[in-house]
Structure 1
Amino acid sequence: MLLKVNRIRNLGVFSDFSWDAGLPAFERFNVVYGENGTGKTTLSRLFDCLKTGLHEDYPALEFKISSETGDFTHGAAAARKVRVFNADYVQLNIGQLDGNLKPILVVGEENKALSEALKQNERELATRKDLIAEAESRIAQHETARGKLFTSVAATISEATSGTLQRSYRKNNAEAAFKILGVSKEPTETELTAHRATLRQEAMDRIEAELTKTMMFSGNDHSFDQAARAIESAASSLCGRTVISDAIARLQDSPEIAKWVEQGHALHKALGSQTCQFCEQDLPADRWRKLEAHFNNEDQALKSEIERTIDEIDQLKKFLQSTSLPDKFALYGDFRHQYDEAKETLTTEVMAASAALDQITAKLAEKLGARTASIPFDIRLDFGGLANAFSAVSALLDNHNKKTELFTGAKDAAKKAIEAYYLIGIKAQVAIFDAKIVDEMALITQNKDGDEGAGMAALATLEAAINEKKMQISSAHKAGEDLTKLLQTFLGRNELTFESSDLGYRVKRNGKDAKRLSEGERTAIAFIYFIVQLKDQDFDLAEGVVVIDDPVSSLDSSSVYQAFAFLKSAVRDAKQVFLLTHNFSFLRLVINWLQHDPAAKKKNKMYMLVCRNGATGRHSTMGPLDQALIDHPTEYHFLFKTLTNFNGDGTIADCYHIPNVTRKVLETFLDFFAPGKNSLYSKLSQVDFDENKKTAIYKYANDNSHFTGQGFEPGLVQESQKNVTYLLEMIKTLAPQHYAGMVAATS
């Protein structure tokens, strides 16, 4: 059973409602009394939306209703079925009766055994659907947990591959990558560190420096090894050559003097002078002839060749020493350490090669002064280390340039490797969830498709069997007969009938489609249709909640008793009943029933809705039904008590309802004190009381008890307090015995 409406938010006059702690919980039978506008229909709509947990007119609705089996909240359908009769039901099911009413299927007496089989099938269907729903719920839980794994790993991958918490890689990316994950081995920590380093780097410029792989000597490009052999060969050959000449012994024995004399000889030949430029004496002819013989053409050719070789070696050394290498910071960080080592090795090898070339140059310089004799040459050049050093530096520069060219691809590869590393890390956990989901899917398949070995029919077969049994035991025609009998009993006449067809029921008047039905007739048709519908196959009255809002609102006084009799009979066996009304006569009938019927006497609760106007609009509250309404046979007692207890707290909200109450009490009192068909004003004019006070009472009750659209005057509070006092004073003056009796009865 429903126990309490704990709270309601954003629902009309129940915009901020909370259950009072002192208010008793609902019972099996519950009565809610309230004037029009206090929220009875709104409350019935709240009960109606328990079917789905939603209210299409109030999407922001929030509520919490506690029950014996748990709480019902917005967004979730209640397990227990609820049937609600209110103005919405009348409009939805009856409208203007321009079409067919939906057929009502009831169980015929002759099909009880088939009905029991049907119930068994329906229980099995419900159990199977529950199992399917539970399995689907568990699948949803597993998928949620599985999804959280991917959400978490996606955040880790995003940070690892972007170096920032900004999310560029999300759950769907991780799931898509996991589906095509082909890596079975995780990267090592070293590989992972390298991949992370790659991602942290930015693309650098190419290094255009090209290091030589050859050496120029004697006009030809040689490999380093070939160049070494060529230099050795040339120097060795020059050192081994001799010039046959009429050598001057002193010059032959003294290379320094020979060099000095050779330079002087060349200078004098160039000047064409036979006079010594040093001593200014004529050169003896014999001396000049001997110098010519000593420095002959062959000798000069050897000299030139030696000098040229020395110059080539010197140029080659300068070339090696002028090799320009880029700064290490022009390379990627992962190459810099190796580059420093290779650069240092190259510098060392260049110095070693230069030193070796200097040795050969010195040997050739020695040969220049001793061209007439062979000198030994035992120097060996080894440029292998130099070649390797150049190759090592060149390779590093090439690797740098390749990385620049393939930088985007390298980053992508690093990202893929890191992604795979983390996805492999959750592989086992994902496999567990996938296995659980597969098991639940198998359970769903078994319950949907059935299991021949276990004697379990397919769900579709079971549903077809249920529908077939329903068709066998259902009688829409019987329900149509019941509707006609009830309607004729209800109205006390027989011109209106229900005609059954495959499409439903049509309401006929004297055999023709009923048109221009009165409000009372429409209400009567809707009410008995609702009552009969409580018996249909889709609703188990013994386990259901029935809510009925003002079933007598458009009925004349003679029909109120019929409506009550029908209602009492229809809901007697319901699990729980809520009756809402503003009609005092109907309320008295319900109270009398609940106070005397043994089945309801100790299982009922009575409540009252009161709506007041506040700073943020109109708000309804719920409290116990006033004892005056329970103890006395007329509404007049309650209204009289309301006025005698009215003091006012100084707010418009507290006196919002007082003008209406004042008018009702005034009208009721004058009906017996000044009976007749005259207007309220005429009746008030007939009584002997202070004219000024009578005028004030009339104006207050007449003007403020009707909606004008202009709002309340600021003086309403004072006017209410003053005119309530005047009215009670008038009643006491005109009918002191009546006044005293009413005070005593309502105290």
Structure 2
Amino acid sequence: MIKGISKIKNLGIYNNYTKPIGTQEFGIKNLIFGWNYSGKTTLSRLFAQLEAKKPNPDLSGCEFSFETDELPITDKNFEQSNLIVRVFNSDFIRDNLHFEGNSFKPILLLGKESEEAQNQIDYISGRIKKSEGTRKKLDSQFNTITQTVSNAKTDAAKNLRQLLKIDPYTATQLGNDMPVVGVLDSQLLDEKDLSESIELALTPDNKKPSTVDRVDISPSIENIHQEAVTILAAIPTFTNMLKHLEDHPEIERWVESGLHIHQQEGTCEFCGNTVTEDRLATFRAHFSKDLKEHKQKVENLLQRVKSAEIKLTLPKEAEFNPQFRDSYKVAAAPLPKAIEAFNLAVKTLADDVQRKVDAPRKLLEPAPLAEGLASVIVDAIKAINTVIDENNKLADNFTTAKAEAIKRVRYHYVQQFIDSQENAGYERKKARIVKRRDRLHTYATRLQGEVEKLQALISQAQLGREKINERLVSMLGSEAIQILVIKDPTTNQEQFRLFRKNGKVAKNLSDGERTAIAFSYFLTKLQELKPEEFKQTVVYIDDPISSLDANHIFQITAAIRSLFFKQENENSPWLTTCKQIFISTHNFEFFNLLREIKPEASKQGARLFLIKRISEKESTFCDMPTSLARYQSEYHFLFEVIYRFHQAPDKTDHTVLMLLPNAIRRFIELYTYSRLPGIMKETVDQRAEALFGVEKSKRILKVFHYFSHANTIDRLVGNNELIFDVEHAVKDLIEAITQTDQKHMDALIASL
């Protein structure tokens, strides 16, 4: 059993590593956490030396020493070591698998040859062949229906193209329109709308519709009638009235009209008698100023009443575009009768006022008005103008209106085609064929699976393939890439090759697929070891979750737990199935999931370690800090790095500076997202600005953007001004959280 690593020298980032004093010994389960580029994969390559038991040119010049239960294993004697080691890392993937369609070495697991299994394979293969024959017939029926639909679509597109004179409009365009029309309400037009839309669609641009002037009248009689009620009831005051003139209005008007001729005493022009000054004064007293003004007011009222009469010439129906003529006719229908009623009321009121003109001293009252005389006209004019506006809108926007008409007609006939296809039932027939064909495919696939299981009894490679495929389905789902066994035509040896569910060779795999395939291959390959050998094996697994989402992380964890750990029952302690296991990762969620499995039956149970970068060319391997080991959170550890720097008297300490940029970057991401869990597209900059303010957030994030990916100490210490900015950025971050979230800051400090 490996107890520890006392030294590593000249191995990548481990330039001159010596085991820190007080570092705990390795247990039977060892979890190693470290950020990217900290040296996890490099450490796995050191374990791979123990597996290979031969020098690795890439590790030439490296010195190392492993502490064990017996003598140390060093770079001088590792080739003689009896330790069984298996390593999963990027080198294992590179050396064992091909992801570009090439075949690769199979995993050989012990199978059972069986003549009965072969007989079963022959029988099932016959059933598969029969189902494939039925599927071919169904394919032929499907193709016939498809061709019928295609021909109908071509004819429909041709008819529409000729009707609307649009080119091109082919079956392809019709097919593109069908999904659009299919999600809308029925696009069928009634006969009138269709006729009008076709007429507009086919109207040439040089015959665009004309405009019609709006009708503008403001009928008013209610107010003037109210005024007439007042004026007709008024009686002027008189200084001295002549009874004879009052009783004979026609003589009164005659005298009044001639009074201005006789301004002074003289001979009457009518009778020749003398008109005295006294007689003239009597007449002047009769015709007072008040009477004159009263008569003038009545005369003015009479003129205004007469002017209220409506004289209107409406547009002719022929002036409108055809599709608006019926609407115009309906809108204008009530107008003549309404105008006639209105003008009759005007005439009646004029007659009443005329009577007042004739007898200004009489108390009169105009005839009452019928209700709604003006409103009926106003409503009719409004309806007419609405039709006129629609007509003019078409004329003003002819190009757009024409395009809309073409679209309406096109959608009408597309809808008609869809309905005809629905009535013919082609899609239902195709759906039944597809459903039956899929059932046959599922049936054949199931039979093929039975064949492969039977083949696994005969072929050791088939059994290895089956185990890998089971793991792939568990990790990637039922549509996962599968491994098939093929015969190499040159050597006639069985090989593995990756295929997709559609039967094509798998190429251009995603990073997640590569990771799942590689790790499944590794876990299955361990089963080549005999059970007693596996119990004595040291296993090192380096980051098996690269590019996998959270759901797959749980599945990887489950696979590791299933193979490497066991419990007699749910209350008994966890035990390892191999001699010793090491797992390194940069993913804290995965780290926590594995940490839950704690082999406690042995004094050398679970151990937690940390790999961290301490300078440009150096990393160290040490015990997990309390802030990480005590809590199930990377967050506490990040805060510890930042806070220790904040408290440190010497801010240029290289050990602190190398950890700081990544710590700040990750801490701000976690803190701001926990405070503002918005949409995924929000950036850390946006969240920081919302929490800290624009100026302070930019100062803090300068460290994140400039230093977080810096792997050289020169960049960190080469500019004193930048180091000064780092110090103040951390200070600003601590103060910002303290000011806005005091309880949170107190809890973080307490956790240290």
Q: Over alpha carbons, which structure has the higher Rg?
A: 1
> Which of the five TM-score ranges fits, normalised by the shorter chain?
0.3 to 0.5
TM-score by length of 1: 0.47
